[in-house]
Amino acid sequence: MRVLFLTLFVVFADQISKLWIKGFSIPFLHLNHQGMSLGQRVEVIGSFFQITFVENPGMAFGIGLDLSIKFWVSILTLIASVGLCYYLYYVRNKSLSLRIAIALILAGAIGNLIDRVFYGVIYDYAPLFYGHVVDFLDFDFWHFSLFGRSYDRWPVFNVADMAVTAGVLVLLFFYKQNDTDNEKKSGGVIPVEDDMNKEKDGNTEQN
């Protein structure tokens, strides 16, 4: 279960980056960081890569949600996170690549779940479970359409989104590699047990 350290690191990096973008204040520690204004852009590599502060009230790619649906999305994400924790324990003796993939997906789910559950209350704009996800990584890759919407830039995302994407890619690679390994192990040779079963079947027919 040491891969949980990876999960904790990603969640920590995700939340620190979001708080730095959004701003925070801790009076008893005399800490106050102004952060960025909503919609503000800061060029990093020209127009190709910018830090753009947006808040996503819906799902990925800016898909809006009704308030009732949004609540259940938060609840389902919470349930899924618990399920991923259990599954990570279940596969604790499996391949390291599988455990890393699940740990990354779990980190991404928890990172965005914290926004949805607590940010509305912390920043005093929405009740529990109705917060907005903070996004800020803005790349200009290509123009495309998705779910009936057109985008002239890649949708703004965050560290948690990166973790989920990386986890899915590792997971896909793991299954591809696993299938290849199984083919190599079999090598077209009939297993001993199957060979013995065929001999038994042949003897039975002769009798």
pLDDT in tens, 38-68: 999 999 999 899 999 999 887 665 565 666 7
Which candidate in 14, 115, 135, 138 is catalytic?
A: 135
Residues facing residue 43 across a β-bridge: 50
Taking only the tens place, the pLDDT of each residue in 77-132 is: 999 999 999 999 999 998 999 999 999 999 999 999 999 999 999 999 999 999 99
Q: With respect to residue 204, please indicate whether it lies within any of the assigned structural domains.
A: no
Rg of the chain (C-alpha set): 24
Residue 161 annotated to the active site: yes
The residues, any chain, with a CB within 8 Å of residue 163's CB and separated by 6 or more, are 10, 14, 104, 105, 107, 108, 111
Q: Domain of residue 121: give its range.
A: 4-24+42-184
- Which pLDDT band holds residue 69 (cuts at 50, 70, 90)? confident
Q: With respect to residue 191, please indicate whether it lies within any of the assigned structural domains.
A: no
Residue 135 annotated to the active site: yes
Averaged pLDDT, 140-146: 73
What pLDDT does residue 188 have? 47
Which ranges of 61-156 does DSSP label H, i.e. alpha helix? 67-90, 96-114, 120-122
Averaged pLDDT, 170-191: 63
Q: With respect to residue 35, please indicate whether it lies within any of the assigned structural domains.
A: no
Q: With respect to residue 189, please indicate whether it lies within any of the assigned structural domains.
A: no
Judged against a pLDDT cut of 60, whether residue 198 lies above it is answered with no
Judged against a pLDDT cut of 90, whether residue 153 lies above it is answered with no
- Which pLDDT band holds residue 21 (cuts at 50, 70, 90)? very high
More confident residue, 61 or 11: 11
Q: With respect to residue 30, please indicate whether it lies within any of the assigned structural domains.
A: no
What the block records as the tokens of 121 is 């209350």
Q: Mapping DSSP to helix (H, G, I), strand (E, B) and coil, where does residue 31 land?
A: strand
What pLDDT does residue 152 have? 76
Q: With respect to residue 195, please indicate whether it lies within any of the assigned structural domains.
A: no
Judged against a pLDDT cut of 80, whether residue 72 lies above it is answered with yes
**What is the average pLDDT score of the chain?**
84
What pLDDT does residue 100 have? 96
Residues facing residue 52 across a β-bridge: 41
What's the whole-model pTM score?
Answer: 0.80
Residue with tokens 């995302």: 157
Q: With respect to residue 32, please indicate whether it lies within any of the assigned structural domains.
A: no
Q: Considering its fold, how many domains does the chain have in total?
A: 1
Q: How far is CA 185 from CA 28, 162, 179, in A?
A: 62, 34, 10
- Which pLDDT band holds residue 184 (cuts at 50, 70, 90)? low
Q: With respect to residue 79, please indicate whether it lies within any of the assigned structural domains.
A: yes
Which candidate in 14, 115, 138, 161 is catalytic?
A: 161
